[in-house]
Amino acid sequence: MKKKVLFLIAILVVAGVFWGALSRVHPFGEKARAPMDDYYLENAQQERSVNNVVTAIVFDYRGFDTLGEAAVLFTAVCSVLALFRKGSEGK
Amino acid sequence: MGMYAILFERNLIKIAIGITLLEASANLFLIVLGYRTGGSIPVFTLAGEVRSMVLPTPQALTLTAIVIGLATSALLLSLIMLLYRHYGTLDVREIRRLRG
Amino acid sequence: MNPLSVVVRTICDVFAWFMGIYGIYIIIHGHLTPGGGFQGGAVVATMAAFLLVSHGGKKLLSFAKPGFYSGIETAGLLIFITTGFLGLSATFFYNFLAGRGGLFGAVVPIGPNSGILNSAGTISVMNMAVGLEVIGGLSLILIYMFKGIRLFDDQTGGSETGHDR
Amino acid sequence: MNWQIHLPALVLAVPLLGAFASPVAGLGGRATRNAWMIFISVLTTAVCIMLWQKVIAGGTAVYVMGAEAWNITLPSGLSWPVRIILEVDAFSAFMAVVGSIAALAGAFFSLRFMDRFTGLEKFSALYFLLVTGMLGMQLTGDLFNFFVFLEIASVASFGLIAFWRDRPEAVEASFKYMIISTISAMFILIAVGFFYGRYNAVNIAAVARMLQMGYAEKIALVFLVVSLAMKCGAVPMHMWTPDAYAEAPAGVTCLLVAVSQASLYGLFRVCFSLYGASLGSTVVPWTIIVMGVLSMFIGVTMAVIQKEIKRLMAYHSVSQIGYILMALGVGLLALRDPQAMADYGFTAMKGGIFHIINYTMYKGLLFLTAGAVFYSAGSRNLNELGGLARVMPQTTFMFVIAAAAIAGLPPFNGFVSKLLIYQSTFAVYPLLAVAALVTSVLTLASFVKVFQTAFLGPAKKTYENVTEVPASMLLGMSLLTIVIIALTLFPGWTLSHLVEPAAKALVDQAGYISAVMGGGL
């Protein structure tokens, strides 16, 4: 019980710290300075002839991330397959 | 909440839930960063008149992060299944063969 | 896992087709509408989960063996990375099909429009490749986890119907 | 068309292709699979070495993924990069070479070691994915890309640690590692989010150029340092290290050592290149130094009392990580002061970076010999082993070399790097050097113990039938041995050609930034 109270206090402190940090990032919902995203929004159609800007970013501008992401999925599949493979090797 | 579950719960499944909570919160944080008031989705197909669009990059990043989180939790659950098979319990206090 | 009741099975049979078609639609229209390879693949893999729950594992495996899914997955990945390699004339991952005419090469008008399916270059190819990979991968994870439960049942001597609910 | 400009991408694409195609290669039976594994490993190492040569000759290499040409970092007059950029300076290339050599040795070793297992095409796929993740972490110039490769490396290592899934210990170790590294990965993601929200960029160089130390940046720094220290096994969160290292198959452990170096690389990249001179106070360097000292001490004291050979070595690796952290922390301390940099800072950096290659080589070799002992004798418990020097002479020889190197006996390479670390830390705070010295003595003591109990002593009846391990395993081990001996014989060459460019590149934040952002901006 004591542990839980302590943890609650810790959570509140961490939340306070986070709130402080977040409020300094940029005002919520306002038009922040975002040159990179504006570049995507303006040029994605012209450069890559894609309507869906998110897809353009995922598969083109940051395509290498997506390759990595597919690799993570492949890794997980391989691991699960390796874990549940047939046969046993003893201890 | 996620950290609480990871640190104090004794059931492996609940630890896994804690980890997924942590992932969800990180993803939500990323998405929130890209919000613009009155923005529409960044897709031009049949979009109508567009004033401003929300930032697309956080969405792309979150998409990647979600898939990674999915892979991690799939592996986590299968490890839990294996542990259950070996020990017959999901209580972390009883799964303590590696010590010191 | 034993098959569930007739009602559940019938409804799942009907809806599985819709889910499959919808998933494939999401994959193919990934560059036009929200969605893409991952989401569509996840939807199609949910179809596998549906059939797994309703019909039990045997039906699904008689439909296609794990090797089939594994093949789909590997094929998707290889298409993906080969697309990356083909762009090597400029850089790795260069979008060499966009805006050139030909396959997926149509030029779209700037601003809001109604969408042209034959656009976006390698993005479409990659969407389909990733879609294949996700279908294969997630189905494999589901099937093998399901097998893991079976393995566990054999060891403890539990009955097979224990996990239905 | 000069194909060499594509080297940075090829370094990552080759092992990735190897991983994706290994289910196909697995169809062809055992010989095809093994040939594929060796082929891809050798190719990766070769590409890494070529990349290193290129970087040494031509300065920092930049590669833009998916642009019209490899060097358009900033599209048409913009002042921020929009694509993923691979950025390879001398430090990254150095780490990549070290990592790929360790991976090659591990691959050779695993060929026979893993023979008793089934599902080996999965094993080779996971192995290559681990290599990809490691190299990707070291080569990328993008924070989110770093996170993605970190996840590839960690997910692959979960699978590989738990590969022996019939041992409950292996699954448990994997589970522990998984929890720790997932939490740390989420911290990194949150830190990336902070940078994105603040500067609307995720490229390291772009962020570094705009960075102004503020409250949000401090929080992000805390997240990054904590999580990367967790991942590389420094003391406050070192609990996963012995479990994971001890339970993974030996060839994989050799690679895991290199992977933890990759997180270490991330830590220093963040401290030096991302924050650099704007780090401000001395809090962060001292935190790293204290963390290093604690790791050294706790690691070695835990190691002395261990009975299982691989766990003992794993605790030693905690203490060796401590050395590196301490040395580079001292370098970080001296970063703002050119005088201090010239006096002791640069020596410390050289010592730390030299220690990275030494550590990877001899620690990998030690884990491989432990695996060889286990393969032949079937036991890892020091109380049971004995008299193995008679039946396994080659393994014993290599073990002696590695142990002498890790303990820092004078002619060996470990001595050189440790000497550099002693010199520099003594200038900062004499107690640090004393601590390092004591740790070194304790290391020597525990390895003498291992050597005496496991390899010397009367031949035991149970081990009469033990033979030397197969040739491919010996090949893997002797590769690392040759590297160690070479480093021992030519420390001057190594320092001037391998280590110094790396240290310079790490200090040179402006060079790192301008490679991407262009000179005048």
DSSP-assigned beta bridge partners for residue D62:
D87
More confident residue, C67 or D312: D312
Q: Do C38 and B63 touch (CB under 8 A)?
A: yes
Q: What is the pLDDT of residues D152-195, one digit of tens each?
A: 888 888 888 887 777 777 777 888 888 888 888 888 888 888 77
Quote the pLDDT of residue C68.
75
Size of interface A-B (CB pairs under 8 A): 90
pLDDT at C160 over 70: no
Quote the pLDDT of residue C158.
36
Give dist(CA D328, CA D292) in Å, integer: 9
Give dist(CA D257, CA D103) in Å, integer: 10
Best probe of the A interface among D78, D82, D210, by most A CBs < 10 A, is D82
Q: What is the pLDDT of residues D406-435, one digit of tens each?
A: 777 777 777 777 777 777 777 777 777 777
- Structural domain contains residue B82: yes
Measured between beta carbons, the chain C residues lying within 8 angstroms of B47 are 112
Q: Do B57 and A57 touch (CB under 8 A)?
A: yes
Check if C74 contacts D (Cβ < 8 Å).
yes
Q: What is the pLDDT of residues D276-297, one digit of tens each?
A: 666 666 677 777 787 777 777 7
Query: Which is nearest to D351 in space by CA: D302, D295, D279, D292?
Result: D292
Closest chain A residue to the Cα of D18, Cα to Cα:
A71
Lowest mean pLDDT among A21-35, B5-19, D463-477: A21-35
3-class secondary-structure state, position B53: strand
> Average pLDDT, whole number, for chain B?
69
Q: CB-CB: which of A32, A35, A65 is closest to D80? A: A35
The distance of C144 to chain A (nearest Cα, Å) reads 6
Give dist(CA D21, CA D406) in Å, integer: 38
Model confidence at D1, pLDDT cuts 50, 70, 90, reads very low
Query: Is the confidence metric ipTM above 0.85 for this complex?
Result: no
Give dist(CA D360, CA D365) in Å, integer: 8
Chain C residues contacting B, CB < 8 Å?
32-34, 36, 38, 108, 111-115, 141, 144-145, 148-149, 151-152, 155
Give dist(CA C132, CA A42) in Å, integer: 31
Q: What is the mean pLDDT of residues D43-60?
A: 78
Model confidence at C60, pLDDT cuts 50, 70, 90, reads low
How many domains are contained in chain A?
1
Q: What is the mean pLDDT of residues A10-30?
A: 68
Q: Residue B52: what residue type?
A: S
Give dist(CA C76, CA A11) in Å, integer: 44
Best probe of the B interface among D150, D166, D178, D186, by most B CBs < 10 A, is D186
Q: What is the pLDDT of residues C90-103, one digit of tens each?
A: 555 565 555 454 55
Quote the pLDDT of residue A91.
44
Q: Which CATH number fits the domain that encloses residue B32?
A: 1.10.287
Quote the pLDDT of residue C91.
56
The distance of A33 to chain B (nearest Cα, Å) reads 11
Chain D residues contacting B, CB < 8 Å?
144, 147-148, 151, 155, 158-159, 162, 165, 168-169, 171-176, 178-179, 182-183, 186, 189-190, 192-193, 196-197, 202, 242-243, 247, 302, 305-306
Q: What is the pLDDT of residues D188-212, one digit of tens each?
A: 888 888 777 777 777 777 777 777 7
- Structural domain contains residue B45: no
Start-to-end CA distance of chain B, whole Å, equals 29
Lowest mean pLDDT among A66-70, C5-9, C159-163, D146-150: C159-163
Best probe of the A interface among B55, B76, B85, by most A CBs < 10 A, is B55
Rg (CA), chain D: 22
Give dist(CA A56, CA D99) in Å, integer: 33
- Phi-psi sector, C56: left (phi>0), alpha (psi -120 to 50), beta: left
Quote the pLDDT of residue D490.
76
> Average pLDDT, whole number, for chain C?
68
| Domain of A30, in residue numbers | 2-83
- Structural domain contains residue D274: no
Q: Do C141 and B74 touch (CB under 8 A)?
A: yes
| Token code pair at residue D128 | 């290559």
Quote the pLDDT of residue D13.
77
Model confidence at C104, pLDDT cuts 50, 70, 90, reads low
Find chains touching chain B: ≥3 CB pairs under 8 Å: A, C, D
Model confidence at B68, pLDDT cuts 50, 70, 90, reads confident
3-class secondary-structure state, position C128: helix
Residues in chain C: 165
Q: What is the pLDDT of residues D219-278, one digit of tens each?
A: 778 788 888 887 777 766 667 777 777 777 777 888 888 888 888 888 877 777 777 666
> Average pLDDT, whole number, for chain D?
75
Give dist(CA C159, CA C156) in Å, integer: 9
Model confidence at C157, pLDDT cuts 50, 70, 90, reads very low
Q: What is the pLDDT of residues A32-65, one digit of tens each?
A: 555 666 666 666 555 555 666 677 777 767 777 7
Q: Do D69 and C95 touch (CB under 8 A)?
A: no
Give dist(CA D25, CA D269) in Å, integer: 37
Q: What is the mean pLDDT of residues C37-52?
A: 79
Q: Do B52 and A45 touch (CB under 8 A)?
A: no
Q: CB-CB: which of A48, A64, A84 is closest to C147? A: A84
For D237, list phi and psi in degrees, rounded to 5.
-125, 40
How many domains are contained in chain D?
1
Best probe of the B interface among C77, C134, C152, by most B CBs < 10 A, is C152
Quote the pLDDT of residue D259.
81
Quote the pLDDT of residue C59.
65
Quote the pLDDT of residue A71.
82
Measured between beta carbons, the chain C residues lying within 8 angstroms of D20 are 74, 77-78, 81
The distance of C71 to chain A (nearest Cα, Å) reads 12
Query: Which is nearest to B20 in space by CA: D458, D31, D178?
Result: D178
Lowest mean pLDDT among C110-114, C152-156, D111-115, D389-393: C152-156
Quote the pLDDT of residue D255.
81
Check if C155 contacts D (Cβ < 8 Å).
no
- Structural domain contains residue B100: no
Q: What is the mean pLDDT of residues D329-355?
A: 73
What is the percent of chain D with per-residue pLDDT over 90, rounded to a whole number? 0
pLDDT at D41 over 70: yes
More confident residue, A13 or C115: A13
CB–CB of A44/A53 below 8 Å? yes
Give dist(CA C49, CA C54) in Å, integer: 9
| Domain of D434, in residue numbers | 281-489
DSSP-assigned beta bridge partners for residue A50:
none
Model confidence at C18, pLDDT cuts 50, 70, 90, reads confident
Helix, strand counts (H, E) of chain C: 5, 0
- Structural domain contains residue A91: no
- Structural domain contains residue D264: no
- Structural domain contains residue B79: yes
Quote the pLDDT of residue D521.
38
| Token code pair at residue D32 | 């095809």
Alpha-helical (H) ranges within D28-89 are 29-58
Give dist(CA D370, CA D360) in Å, integer: 15
77-96 of B, contacting C, C-beta below 8 A: 77-78, 81-82, 84-85
Count CA atoms within 13 Å of residue C25 on its CB side. Answer: 8
pLDDT at C165 over 50: no
CB–CB of A79/B75 below 8 Å? yes
Quote the pLDDT of residue A66.
78
Measured between beta carbons, the chain C residues lying within 8 angstroms of B74 are 141, 145
For D501, list phi and psi in degrees, rounded to 5.
-60, -40
- Structural domain contains residue A88: no
Q: Do C93 and D66 touch (CB under 8 A)?
A: yes
Q: Residue B48: what residue type?
A: G
- Structural domain contains residue A39: yes
DSSP-assigned beta bridge partners for residue B91:
B11
Alpha-helical (H) ranges within D378-499 are 388-391, 393-407, 413-428, 430-450, 471-489, 491-493
pLDDT at C73 over 50: yes
- Strand (E) or helix (H) holding D174: helix D168-199
Measured between beta carbons, the chain C residues lying within 8 angstroms of A77 are 73, 136-137, 140-141
Q: What is the pLDDT of residues C109-121, one digit of tens each?
A: 555 555 555 556 6
Q: Do B37 and A29 touch (CB under 8 A)?
A: yes
Quote the pLDDT of residue C164.
34
Can you state the angle between helices C122-156 and C66-86, rounded to 10 degrees? 150
Residue whose pair of structure tokens reads 């095809």 in the numeric block: D32
| Domain of B8, in residue numbers | 2-38+52-94
Measured between beta carbons, the chain B residues lying within 8 angstroms of A62 are 60-61, 64
Give dist(CA D102, CA D120) in Å, integer: 20
Residues in chain D: 521
Best probe of the D interface among C38, C70, C88, C92, by most D CBs < 10 A, is C92
